Amino acid sequence: QQGAFHERYILSGYRSPDYSLAECLRSAFRPTNETGNFWSHFLPLFFFSYRVLEVLGWPLWTYFLGVACLLLGSSLAHLLNAMSLVVREVCFFLDYGAIAAYTVGSSLAYFYYIHPRAGLLDRDPERFYIPAACAVAVVCVLCCSLTRQRWRRHRYLIRTLVFLLPLLVSSTPVFYRLLAGSPYVAGSASWAASAPSPAFFWRHCLWLLVSAVFNVAKLPERLAPGRFDVWGHSHHWFHCCTFLSILNQLHMI
């Protein structure tokens, strides 16, 4: 059981696998290898909660709900997983589900703000786009959950590649928009408002790519095992990069 709680190149800072709920909550203020993982997604939750005050349309509410699920699910998974092995597994199953909820929320935002109102497609995409996004999200949750029991040697690579699939599916309206060009008249207010969107989208993708590199390569702790046990290890940077990715996505939408 103890081995399930240990990560490669992280030598110290582990909590005992029998913490109570109160001990888990207190550990957020102590130097453990989950402290940075918790705060790097819990603090952004307040930032996005503040931005909710600006939301007017229902599609953006679903997007913010997906973002909240991702950040809160990730934070709680890292905070509470030391209670037992069973609780640890449940925490990360819910974490994967929260990531899936975020991808579906992103798909809904893209659907309502990227293509139908802009007249990008002649055919009605609602027959396949949203169901496909939901189906792919479910498949990703199942695959990531399986990596906790099988394929453990390559689990980080598999999880990272698996979640690239919903990214590609949900981003199809954006890719179409980039290929087809803006549907708005050049110089119009709508054209000016949408002009920065491609740059924000590519930055969104760039930060996702950087986060994937950190998650798979296990840098920098691979280069100096034991030096980044509490702060600055790969999963901490993975969280920071995903926050920056979501922030650019928000500006794009």
Q: Which residues are annotated as a binding site for Zn(2+)?
A: 78, 235, 239
Residue 158 · residue 221 · CB < 8 Å: no
Binding site, residues?
78, 235, 239
Alpha carbons 36 and 105: distance in angstroms, whole number? 26
* Residue among 66, 42, 52 at smallest CA distance from 166: 66
* Residue among 206, 166, 169 at smallest CA distance from 70: 166
Q: Using DSSP, how many helices (H) and how many strands (E) does the chain show? A: 11, 0
Cβ atoms < 10 Å from Cβ of 205: 16
User: How far apart, in Å, are the Cα atoms of 239 and each of 57, 75, 110, 123?
Assistant: 28, 10, 23, 38
Cβ atoms < 10 Å from Cβ of 153: 9
Alpha carbons 231 and 31: distance in angstroms, whole number? 8
Six-digit token string for 195:
């002009």
* Residue among 60, 37, 35, 32 at smallest CA distance from 48: 60
